[in-house]
Amino acid sequence: MLGMIFTEMVEMIEETFSPEMADEILDEANLEHGGAYTAVGYYPFEEVVTLVSLLSQKTGMPVPDLIEAFGSYLFNSFTKSHAQLLVNKHSLFDLLDTLDGDIHKEVYKLYPDAALPKFNVVSKTDHSLEMEYRSERNLQPLALGLMKGAADYFGHQQVQIEQQPLDDGATLFRVSI
């Protein structure tokens, strides 16, 4: 998994909870590299699971909520570090529509080995959008958080997102603004 996810997560824990908690979790996680994450590196997916589980234990908050919160945090962070990706995009739907085509293409330029989820817009009107989500990691809460972060970024006051599992293991997101 991209090192950026880890560095952002550590930063979120430090900012949202406390630097001490972040230190404890990294310490307790007993990682080979001792938690020395760099944004340009790659790390096993299990480490995210370990970190989020430890955070859940310490805060008593459910794991999906934490991951969703992280998604929102992560999007907010993107708007600062990768602002060029959002040029010419004026709404959540603009973004989602070009997620696979534009955004992920740019991501691959920076991280050729990234394993990104697939997004496929199946229908779109002015106020609603249906999108299939496919990922080996099944990080639907992360996607949800990212979308909510984006909705917030674009100033959509009332956004509703429903999830519906599909037969082939994918998830259908129904987004309305």
**Smallest distance, Å, CB 71 to other proteins?**
23
Distance (Å, rounded) from C-alpha 142 to C-alpha 131?
A: 15
Instruction: Please report how close the Cβ of residue 13 comes to other proteins at its closest, in angstroms.
Output: 12
Judged by beta carbon, residue 6 or residue 133, the one nearer other proteins is 6
Residues that bind other proteins (CB under 8 A): 19-20, 23, 26-27, 33-41
* Distance in angstroms (rounded) separating the CA atoms of residues 7 and 14: 11
Q: Is there a contact between 133 and 119 (Cβ–Cβ < 8 Å)?
A: yes
Please tell me the distance from the alpha carbon of residue 5 to that of residue 74, in angstroms, as a whole number: 8
Comparing CB distances to other proteins, the nearer of 40 and 49 is 40
Report angle CA 142, 129, 105 to the nearest 5 degrees: 60
Q: How far is the CB of 165 from other proteins (least distance, A)?
A: 31
* Closer Cβ to other proteins, 97 or 152, answer by number: 97
Q: How far is the CB of 123 from other proteins (least distance, A)?
A: 18
**Which of residues 23 and 152 has its CB atom nearest to other proteins in the complex?**
23
- The span from the CA of 160 to the CA of 146, in Å, is 13
β-bridge pairing 160-165 and 128-134: unpaired
Nearer to other proteins, 19 or 44 (CB): 19
C-beta of 22: minimal distance to other proteins in Å? 8
How far is Cα 80 from Cα 102, in angstroms, rounded to an integer? 18
Q: Which of 69, 81, 62 is nearest to 4 (CA)?
A: 81
